[in-house]
Structure 1
Amino acid sequence: MATIHRRTDTLPVGAILASVGGFFDAYTFLRHGVFANLQSGNVVLFCVQATARHWHAAVVLLVPVAAFVVGVLAVEVLGVPRVGRLVRRPLRLVLTLQIALLAMIAALPDGAPAPVTTVTVSFVAALQFSTFTTLRDAPYATVMTSGNLRTSVVAAYQWTVGKDPAAARRAGRYAVMVGAFAVGAVVGAICTRTVGTPAIAVAAVLLTAVLVMLVRETRRLERRRTGMEPSSSTPSPNGR
Structure 2
Amino acid sequence: MSINIYHTLAFLDMILYTLVWLVIRMNEEQRYKHELWIYVPLAISGGFMEIYAFLSRDGIFANAQTGNLAILFKSVCAGSVLGALYCFVPIILYMSAIYITMEVPARMKNAIKWSELCILIEMILIFIVGLIPETVPGRYAVLPIFFMTALQYNTFKSMRGQAVSTVFCTNNLRQVVIHFWRFKENKDTQHIKYMNVYVIVLLSFGFGVMLGFLSNDRLAEKAVWICEIFMLPVLHRLHVHGKLFVEV
Give the AA of the match of 1:19.
Answer: I
CA distance in 2, matches of 1:238, 1:167: 24
Question: Is the partner of 1:37 in helix, strand or coil?
Answer: coil
TM-score (norm 2): 0.75
Flag structure 1 segments of 5+ consecutive residues without an equivalent: 1-6, 222-236
CA distance in 2, matches of 1:55, 1:24: 29
Residues 1:27 and 2:22 are matched in the alignment: no
Bigger mean CA deviation after superposition, 114-123 or 168-177: 114-123
Residues 1:18 and 2:43 are matched in the alignment: yes
Shift of 1:39: 0.7
Q: Structure 1 residues 162 and 19 mapped into 2: Cα distance closer, same or farther (>3 Å)? A: same
Shift of 1:41: 2.2
Give the AA of the match of 1:156.
Answer: F
CA distance in 2, matches of 1:100, 1:24: 14
> How does 1:126-145 map onto structure 2 within 5 Å?
126-145=150-169
Identity %: 23
CA distance in 2, matches of 1:49, 1:25: 24
Question: Is the partner of 1:100 in helix, strand or coil?
Answer: helix
Within the candidate set 157, 167, 180, 1:156 is matched to 180
Bigger mean CA deviation after superposition, 7-16 or 100-109: 7-16
- 1:196 matched residue in structure 2: 220
Residues 1:66 and 2:92 are matched in the alignment: yes
> How does 1:1-240 map onto structure 2 within 5 Å?
10-30=35-55, 31-48=57-74, 55-80=81-106, 83-85=107-109, 89-218=113-242, 238=246
Whether contact under 8 Å (2:51, 2:209) holds in the other structure is: yes
1:54-110 CA-partner distances (Å, limit 9, x unpaired): 653453233322221111111111122xx2128882221111111011112212332
CA distance in 2, matches of 1:66, 1:39: 10
Q: Structure 1 residues 52 and 18 mapped into 2: Cα distance closer, same or farther (>3 Å)? A: same
CA distance in 1, matches of 2:161, 2:119: 22
Shift of 1:198: 0.5
1:168-209 CA-partner distances (Å, limit 9, x unpaired): 111112111122222222222333344221111112221222
Shift of 1:115: 4.4
Question: Is the partner of 1:10 in helix, strand or coil?
Answer: helix
- The two structures, once aligned, show a CA RMSD in angstroms of 2.8
TM-score (norm 1): 0.78
Flag structure 2 segments of 5+ consecutive residues without an equivalent: 1-30
Whether contact under 8 Å (2:129, 2:142) holds in the other structure is: no
Whether contact under 8 Å (1:63, 1:115) holds in the other structure is: no
Whether contact under 8 Å (1:90, 1:239) holds in the other structure is: no
Whether contact under 8 Å (2:122, 2:148) holds in the other structure is: yes
Shift of 1:42: 2.3
Q: Which is helix-richer, 1 or 2? A: 2
